[in-house]
Structure 1
C-alpha cells in the first residue's frame, strides 16, 4: 500500500490524492461492514473459533425430545460444511450412541457458555456403545467424522450461536 501511495504521489495532484485516499477508506469501510454482516449470528449457522482459527457450519437444530432422538439417523451423507446442533433446556448429563446412524461423526459436547468440553472423534456408524459427554452438557454439535481433527477443533474451542445468548455466552451474538 505504501509503495502504491508513493507512485500515486509522483503522478497526481494533492486534490486527486485526497480523493483516492477517500475512496480507499470508503472501500475498506464497506469491506469491514460486509465481513461483520457475514459473521453475524444466524439460526442455521454455528461459528467456531480457537487458537487454530475459525470455521462455521450450517446446522439443523434439534431442540425437542423427538428431534434429539432422531438426530442424523438413517442419513446416507452429510455435506462437509453441515452439522446438527442438539440443544437442551438446561445443562445436564448427556450420552449419545450411533444407532441407525450411517456416517461416522465427530461429536462435540458443549457447556452453556459455548465452550467445547469434550469431543468424541469418529464415532462408529451403528455402534450402540454409549458415548458420554459429561455432566453439564447444554448443546452437542455433530459434524462429519474427522473434521474436528482436520480443523484443529479441540476442548476449549468457543462456539457462537443464538442458543447461548441467554446462558452467559463466552462469544455472544
Structure 2
C-alpha cells in the first residue's frame, strides 16, 4: 500500500512539474513578442479629444498574442490591431486576463462598431459586425468613460499610413 501511495505521489509531482514547465514556456513565448508603441487620439462627436499610447499589433504573431497574459494595462493605454485591409474580423479573450472594450474601425479610423465589457478568458467570438481594418482594445469601461460612439474617429500615424 505504501509503495502504491509513493508511486501516486511521484506521478502527481511529475504532472505538476510538467504543468509548471508548460506555463513557464507559454510566458516566455509571450514575452518574446514585441510591440512598437505610438500616440493615438480618439476624437468624439461631442468634440472631446482623448490622448492614448497604444501598442501596435501589425503582424500575424503580434495579432495572435494581443493582450494575452497581461495582468493590467495603464488607463491611458491600449492596443491597435491593423489587419492590412478592410474585412470582417473576429476577436476573443482567450488567455486575456483583463476586461476590455473594443472599437472596430474602418480604413479611415472611423468607429463602425463597439463592444463593451469583453469578459476575461472567454472564448466567445466577438464580431466586428462588418468589414473593418483596425480594432482598438482599451481597458473595460473606457467606452463609457470616454463617451465613445459609432462615427467617432481614431487618429494615429498607423492609421494615417493605411493605404
Fold agreement, TM-score > 0.5: yes
Q: CA deviation at 1:130?
A: 0.1
Q: CA deviation at 1:166?
A: 4.6
> What RMSD over aligned residues (CA atoms) do the two structures have, in Å?
1.3
Give 2:74's aligned residue.
79
- Runs of 4+ with >4 A deviation: none
Q: Please point out which of 39, 48, 56 is paired with 1:45.
A: 39
Distance in 1 (alpha carbons) for counterparts of 2:71 and 2:59:
23
Find the structure with the greater CA-based Rg: 1
SS of corresponding position for 2:62 = helix
SS of corresponding position for 1:98 = coil
Asked if 1:146 is matched to 2:141, the reply is yes
Q: Please point out which of 96, 111, 120 is paired with 2:115.
A: 120
Asked if 1:63 is matched to 2:58, the reply is yes
Q: Deviations over 1:52-82 (max 9, x none)?
A: 3110210000000110000000000000000
Distance in 2 (alpha carbons) for counterparts of 1:84 and 1:167:
17
Q: Please point out which of 106, 115, 139 is paired with 2:101.
A: 106
Give 1:95's aligned residue.
90
Q: CA deviation at 1:143?
A: 0.4
Which residues of structure 1 form unaligned runs of 5+? 1-42, 169-173
Give 2:128's aligned residue.
133
Distance in 2 (alpha carbons) for counterparts of 1:141 and 1:165:
15
Distance in 2 (alpha carbons) for counterparts of 1:97 and 1:130:
5
Query: When the two structures are superposed, what TM-score results if normalisation uses the length of structure 1?
Result: 0.70
Query: When the two structures are superposed, what TM-score results if normalisation uses the length of structure 2?
Result: 0.74
Distance in 2 (alpha carbons) for counterparts of 1:60 and 1:113:
19
Q: CA deviation at 1:164?
A: 2.5
Q: Name the count of aligned residue pairs.
A: 126
Q: CA deviation at 1:105?
A: 0.2
Which residues of structure 2 form unaligned runs of 5+? 1-36
